[in-house]
Amino acid sequence: MSAGPEPAPARLASGLISRSHLGIEPFEMRRPDSLADAAAAVADGSWAHAGGIDVAQRLRAGQAADELVPLCRPPTSAGTGLEMLGEISLGDGCLFIGAAVTHARIESDPLVQAHRPDVAATWRTIGNVRIRAAGTLGGNLAAFHPGYDAAPILAAAEATVVVAEPDGTLDRCSVADLPQHRLIVGCEVPLSGQVVFDRSLKPVVSVAVGDQAVAIGCAYAYTVVIPHGATRTEDVAAALAALADPINDAFATAAYRRRMIGVLVDRCLRAHAEPPVLARDDRMGVPATRPASTQEVAPPDARSLEAAPPARSQDVQSPDDVSRDGAGSTTHVEMHLNGEPFAVAAPPSEMLVDTIRTRAGLDGTRVGCDQAVCGTCTVLVDDMPAASCSTFTWQADDTEVLTIESASDPDSANARGDVASILPAVQGAFAKSSAFQCGYCTPGLILVAAALLARHRDPDRATICDWLDSNVCRCTGYLMVIEAVEAAAAALAGHASADSSSGSAA
């Protein structure tokens, strides 16, 4: 299956469509060949692109980027320095987490779980299943958004941010002093300490409490860091009283925010005094298959960019050749779409949802909020849910993409195995449980449920709700959807038992 270089969907004559994937201005692509090259491009105003969801939202909101520097899957080969972006490793008294490491990997990585289980536990609360699968540590920090979660967690953990200067040298700064127009390489998190994070009142306020610092998100235009923590509660109380008035907006008044800051800080201080809760990696379901190496490695600035990289956990392999393209040019993308080869030449600004709907003609993938929130546009990329409305088509190069149409051919799905073989059973369970009304959001719900059951054949209701939290249904209500997932799990368990019995009899 292939599609030619057709133009992107036309815009309205009146101009850009507000808050729409059709309104993204064209941009150039620049794939760096070294850490210094990437740092120089970012210093000159180019946008670093890792997970990319925030980048898509900024472009959709009307901001313009002359050039994007793709860093979402850094190369693993030594000598460029870019490999550091996808690294999790042990250094001198710290845990180094690269900027291109996804939230899902942080919460499930064996090194993080072994040395900072509290950080792994807090990271599991960031976003939803699609955000955690695609979003990255560096992207979260580089957005400079007061409502994002990485900054308060890392500030409370007393982490240090490693940035690259235009000449390739590395520098360090605090989370509160994070400079703009500098390439974030990663963070160094101390191996000792405990962080408790509460985001239950977002977007009003979020609070992270560590041993020696308290960080406040959402309530101000920036993350506020109090240099006193759980060991100095009296100083924390005095610092809270001295804070300036928080934001007064449609979400909450300044007075209410100030009161809720005190409530969450008190709650986190009490939780900090309790025995730490170890992180669970079964909610996200990302297998922790990488060995938990305890090998010590040199800190980033002591490494030679020409030397072989240290032993580490590594993210997925490097992407296809994303060349430096002009604003009117195209990128060549090859993927497997529902099990069949699919090649397309698309503008760098084209979203995956448009490629699927207009080029492949698969309209089961819907456009909803266009903000990576509602889940209507969900597809599976390498068996994990992805927001196709905020995923550029070139990000899907060399991946397996599944849409709801793959459930319509059970024989082919069973032959492919894995998630594809589960989809027909999930779709049948939704039909029998009447877990739909208008059906607009149903394809996304079925795909998320199939991805969940591929990892957990017998999930508890809390895990089901955690995954389905990424998808909004306006008319059905969620009880029937949850029951449909439970019914699909039971059906799959029955098939497995039947197959096992048949094999034994044979």
Is 403 inside any structural domain? Answer: yes
Alpha carbon distance 375, 389 (integer Å):
9
Q: Which residue is listed with tokens 């054949």?
A: 457
How much of the chain exceeds pLDDT 90, in percent? Answer: 61
3-state secondary structure of 306: coil
pLDDT value at position 21?
56
73 occurs within a structural domain: no
Question: Which has the closest alpha carbon to 369: 384, 389, 385, 355?
Answer: 389
pLDDT digits (tens, 9 = 90+) for 360-399: 999 999 999 888 889 999 999 999 999 999 999 999 999 9
How far apart CA 231 and CA 273 sit, in angstroms, is 10
In a domain, 338, yes or no: yes
Quick: pLDDT tens for 253-296: 999 999 999 999 999 999 999 876 554 444 444 333 333 333 44
Mapping DSSP to helix (H, G, I), strand (E, B) and coil, where does residue 11 land? coil
* Long-range contacts of 435-441, Cβ-Cβ distance < 8 Å, separation of 24 or more: 435/476, 435/480, 435/481, 435/483, 435/484, 436/476, 437/475, 437/476, 438/474, 438/475, 440/366, 440/368, 440/376, 441/366, 441/368, 441/374, 441/375, 441/376, 441/471, 441/472, 441/473, 441/474
pLDDT of residue 329: 76
- Provide the pLDDT for residue 175: 92
Q: What is the pLDDT at residue 500?
A: 53
Residue 387 included in any domain: yes
pTM score, whole prediction: 0.83
Please compute the mean of the pLDDT values over residues 172-178 and round it to a whole number.
Answer: 91
What is the pLDDT at residue 503?
55
Confidence check: pLDDT of 354 > 90: yes
pLDDT value of position 277 = 55
The total number of structural domains in the chain stands at: 1
pLDDT of residue 468: 92
pLDDT computed for residue 376 by the predictor:
94
Amino acid 498 reads A
- Tell me, what's the pLDDT at 311? 34
In the prediction, which pLDDT does 317 show?
34
Handedness of CA 187, 211, 197, 114 (dihedral sign): positive
pLDDT at 404: 94
413 vs 225, residue with greater confidence: 225
Question: What is the per-residue burial (b if ≥16 Cβ within 10 Å, else e) of 84-114?
Answer: bbbbbbbbeebbbbbbbbbbbbbbbbbbbbe
Give pLDDT tens digits for 52-67: 788 888 888 888 888 9
pLDDT of 54 reads 86
* Structural domain contains residue 487: yes
Query: Per residue in 15-40, pLDDT tens?
Result: 334 445 567 888 888 889 899 999 99
The C-alpha atoms of residue 406 and residue 377 are separated, in whole angstroms, by 15
Q: Token pair of 53, please?
A: 């969801």
Q: Between these two residues, 224 and 91, which has the higher pLDDT value?
A: 224
On whether residue 370 sits in a domain, the answer given is yes
- Please report the pLDDT score of residue 295 as a whole number: 40
Q: What is the extent of the structural domain holding 428? A: 330-506
Q: In the predicted model, what is the mean pLDDT of the chain?
A: 83
CA dihedral sign of residues 5, 9, 11, 13:
positive
Residue with tokens 């795909």: 447
Judge whether 197 lies within some domain: no
- Segment 180-202, tens digit of pLDDT: 889 999 999 999 999 999 999 99
pLDDT tens track for 330-349:
889 999 999 999 999 999 98
Instruction: CATH number of the domain at 396, please.
Output: 3.10.20.30
Residue whose entry in the numeric block shows the structure tokens 């953990």:
157
- Min mean pLDDT across 84-98, 363-377, 492-506 is at 492-506
What is the sign of the dihedral through the CA atoms of 276, 280, 284 and 288?
Answer: positive
The backbone torsions φ and ψ at residue 121, rounded to the nearest 5 degrees and listed phi first, read -65, -45
Where do runs of H (alpha helix) occur along 275-379?
A: 352-354
Q: Is the pLDDT of residue 323 over 60?
A: no
Render pLDDT for 414-437 as a digit per residue (tens, 0 to 9): 555 578 889 999 999 999 999 998
Within-domain flag for 491 = yes
Lowest mean pLDDT segment, chosen from 150-159, 201-210, 274-283 = 274-283
What is the pLDDT confidence band of residue 494, given thresholds at 50, 70 and 90? confident
Q: State mean pLDDT over 116-137.
A: 92
Instruction: Spell out the alpha helix ranges (H) of 365-478.
Output: 410-416, 418-432, 442-455, 461-468
